[in-house]
């Protein structure tokens, strides 16, 4: 009699609570103790192979997560450097605004006695200063927008890192 496949004999085996498979209708199907032993060895071999695969997947997952963390950290550091550079530019613009205001006040105070003659000159200088201040304030707004975008990107990176870590844990748990 030919030995049935594992799929054909699945319904005929009683496996419960980690016990070895036992035959429920052995005489009707002509199974022998050696067939059961072979099936048990095949099951154990499959378990061993699956365990090794799980360990390898887990190791690869940890290595991939470490690489991903490194990449995210590098990107976050680069964004921090850009943000610091933008902050320096912002401070520079604010300093320039203050310098222009101080220069205007000094010029106005210096030329107060001759203000009638210099009225047009001071008005022109005031308009130019106001225009320059407006330009610098627009630049500050743009710098602030870029800094906010960087913060949003960093938040997105943190969310991605958390999602990958969760997926990695799910993968490890399933293997």
Note the pLDDT of residue 23: 44
CB 86 within 8 A of CB 145: no
Q: Is residue 34 part of a domain?
A: no
Note the pLDDT of residue 172: 80
Q: Is residue 160 part of a domain?
A: yes
Q: Is residue 79 part of a domain?
A: yes
SS3 16: coil
* H-only helix segments in the chain: 6-9, 26-29, 33-110, 115-174
Per DSSP, what are the bridge partners of residue 22?
14
Q: Is residue 23 part of a domain?
A: no
Give 104's contacts (C-beta < 8 A, 6+ positions apart). Answer: 125, 126, 129
Q: Is residue 9 part of a domain?
A: no
Note the pLDDT of residue 119: 76
Note the pLDDT of residue 132: 92
Q: Is residue 44 part of a domain?
A: no
Structure tokens at 2: 């030919």
Note the pLDDT of residue 10: 47
Q: Is residue 4 part of a domain?
A: no
CB 104 within 8 A of CB 118: no
CA quadruple 84, 86, 89, 94: dihedral positive or negative?
negative
Considering only CA atoms, which of 8, 143, 114 is closest in space to residue 135? 143
Note the pLDDT of residue 1: 46
Note the pLDDT of residue 11: 45
- Specify the DSSP class assigned to residue 14: E
Per-residue pLDDT of the chain (175 residues; tens, 9 = 90+): 455 554 444 444 444 444 444 444 444 344 455 555 666 676 666 666 555 666 665 666 666 667 777 877 888 888 888 889 988 988 999 999 999 999 999 988 887 777 666 678 888 889 999 999 999 999 999 999 999 998 999 998 889 888 888 888 888 888 7
Note the pLDDT of residue 73: 81
Alpha-carbon distance of 24 to 13, in angstroms, equals: 6
Per DSSP, what are the bridge partners of residue 13?
23
Number of domains in the chain: 1
Q: Is residue 15 part of a domain?
A: no
Name the residue range of residue 150's domain.
66-174
Note the pLDDT of residue 27: 45
């Amino acid at each position: 009699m030919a030995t049935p496949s594992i799929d054909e004999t699945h319904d005929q085996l009683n496996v419960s609570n980690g016990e070895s498979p036992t035959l429920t209708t052995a005489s009707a199907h002509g199974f022998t103790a050696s067939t059961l032993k072979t099936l048990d060895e095949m099951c154990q071999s499959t378990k061993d192979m699956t365990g090794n695969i799980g360990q390898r997947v887990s190791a690869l997952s940890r290595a991939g997560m470490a690489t991903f963390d490194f990449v995210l950290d590098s990107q976050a550091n680069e964004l921090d450097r850009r943000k610091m550079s933008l902050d320096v530019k912002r401070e520079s613009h604010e300093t320039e605004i203050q310098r222009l205001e101080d220069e205007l006040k000094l010029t106005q105070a210096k030329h107060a006695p001759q203000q009638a003659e210099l009225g047009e000159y001071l008005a022109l200088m005031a308009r130019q200063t106001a225009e320059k201040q407006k330009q610098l304030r627009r630049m500050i707004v743009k710098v602030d927008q870029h800094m906010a975008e960087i913060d949003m990107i960093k938040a997105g990176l943190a969310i991605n890192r958390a999602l990958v870590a969760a997926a990695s844990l799910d993968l490890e748990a399933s293997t």
